[in-house]
């Protein structure tokens, strides 16, 4: 005989295990040629062009096809040319917009730079002006220490360096 307490506990465990196993996916994607002046002020995540794929992209490809590889690109901010590496955290059933970012692990000795968000400021035929929201972290022995220094910088990125941008789906 199952007591009411055991029944309620088993029902609770069943419901919470099903709920926690369900992934979330709140990432959308805009291909570079589809970005227009209507996207000005939109917050996005930059997706650099894939160096490893030479074939053209299928319009119906999964979002994973566009954002899974970890690409990199050079940009100029504050008169410095830096290499940003895509850090993508996409799992079998989970892809959170907030978990994606760009990183320059060796920005300066003992410091790393991350870009968690970009705002589209202007769109031209061959390039896009972004406001990069930057966090600079101190690191010691490979680990981040303390709170980041936060700043922003304007940066033109040529469209031929980008595949597109990720957007947060509501």
pTM of the model: 0.76
Q: Which residues contact 14 (CB under 8 A, 6 or more apart)?
A: none
Query: What was the pLDDT predicted at 46?
Result: 94
C-alpha to C-alpha distance for 23 and 87, rounded to whole angstroms: 19
58-91 burial, b for 16+ CB within 10 Å, e for fewer? eeeeeeeebbebebebebebeeeebebebebeee
Query: What was the pLDDT predicted at 52?
Result: 56
Query: What was the pLDDT predicted at 50?
Result: 75
Q: Encoding tokens for residue 48?
A: 């650099």
Query: What was the pLDDT predicted at 121?
Result: 98
C-alpha to C-alpha distance for 156 and 133, rounded to whole angstroms: 14
Q: Encoding tokens for residue 142?
A: 């490979």
Query: What was the pLDDT predicted at 39?
Result: 97
Q: Along the 170 residues of the chain, how does pLDDT read in single tens digits?
A: 666 554 454 544 444 444 444 567 788 899 999 999 999 999 999 999 876 544 445 555 555 555 555 789 999 999 999 999 998 876 666 677 888 899 999 899 999 999 999 999 999 999 999 999 999 999 998 899 999 999 999 999 999 999 999 999 87
From the CA atom positions of the chain, what is the Rg in Å?
Answer: 20
């Amino acid at each position: 005989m199952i007591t009411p307490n055991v029944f309620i506990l088993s029902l609770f465990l069943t419901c919470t295990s099903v709920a926690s196993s369900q992934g979330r996916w709140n990432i959308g994607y805009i291909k570079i040629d589809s970005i227009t002046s209507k996207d000005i002020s939109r917050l996005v995540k930059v997706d650099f062009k894939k160096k490893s794929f030479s074939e053209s992209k299928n319009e119906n490809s999964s979002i994973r096809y566009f954002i899974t590889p970890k690409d990199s690109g050079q940009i100029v901010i504050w008169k410095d040319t830096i290499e940003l590496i895509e850090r993508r955290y996409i799992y079998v059933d989970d892809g959170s917009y907030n978990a994606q970012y760009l990183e320059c692990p060796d920005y300066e000795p003992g410091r790393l730079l991350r870009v968690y968000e970009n705002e589209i400021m202007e769109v031209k035929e061959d390039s896009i002006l972004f406001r990069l929201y930057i966090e600079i972290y101190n690191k010691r022995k490979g680990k981040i220490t303390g709170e980041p220094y936060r700043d922003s910088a304007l940066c033109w990125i040529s469209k031929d360096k980008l595949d597109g941008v990720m957007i947060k789906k509501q």
